[in-house]
Amino acid sequence: MKTDQQTFCPSAQPDWQGAKVFGVVGGTPDAPETAYLATPAPVSDELLKLADPVAPDEVFRIAAPCACSGCGHFDSAQSSCTLAQKIVRWVPMVSESLPVCGIRSECRWWQQEGRAACLRCPQVVTRNLMPTDAMRDAANPELR
Ligand code: SF4
Ligand code: SF4
């Protein structure tokens, strides 16, 4: 898989190379809210065990180099992330100010969509068992 080492996905899986935890999902199941870490922490077995008994991507926000064409959300022609585009178009804002986020300078969603992505980002859960209709549609790579 050819990744972009300079550009990070803010909805990555824990087993991706270079993965680091940059947020912890709190809130409620139907209104999740990410608390961003001041300093992202490299993924380790010990860290992932803290998610027990649920899957790490239910409670951790994890960043890793964007998978680019290895990801179903990547538009190779535009070199862009359609997931970020759809979240900005379809999902409502949940913040009025930019979250303090430890990966902003390298985040693909920020680089591509700017502030509009960050104002929606706190509600993102990588493994979301109770997505809103808008979030479910945004996460469906078949919908553009
Ligand atoms: S294309 Fe988007 S969703 Fe896919 S890995 Fe890259 S940033 Fe993440
Ligand atoms: S979209 Fe914004 S808040 Fe979310 S991870 Fe990227 S820089 Fe951080």
Q: List Cα–Cα distances, 47 to 32, 67, 129, 137, in angstroms.
A: 21, 23, 22, 31
Q: How far is CA 29 from the centre of its chain?
A: 17
DSSP secondary structure letters along 18-65: T-EEEEEEEEETTEEEEEEEEEEEE--HHHHHTTTTS-HHHHEEEEEE
> What are the tens digits of pLDDT across the range 72-109?
999 999 999 999 999 999 999 999 999 999 999 999 99
Write out the H or E segment, with its range, that includes residue 81. Answer: strand 80-81
* Cα-to-centroid distance, 123 and ligand 2 (Å): 11
Ligand 1 pocket, CB under 6 A: 9, 11, 66-67, 71, 73-74, 81, 83, 108
3-state secondary structure of 140: coil
Kindly list the domain boundaries of the chain, sorted by start residue. Answer: 4-139
* Cα-to-centroid distance, 113 and ligand 1 (Å): 13
User: pLDDT tier at 50 (50, 70, 90 boundaries)?
Assistant: very high
Does the pTM surpass 0.85? The reply is: yes
Q: Is 110 in the pocket of ligand 2 (CB under 6 A)?
A: yes
Which residues, 6+ apart, have CB-to-CB distance to 126 below 8 Å? 11, 12, 13, 57, 58, 61, 62
3-state secondary structure of 84: helix
Q: Is 109 in the pocket of ligand 2 (CB under 6 A)?
A: yes
Give yes or no for residue 11 having a pLDDT over 80: yes
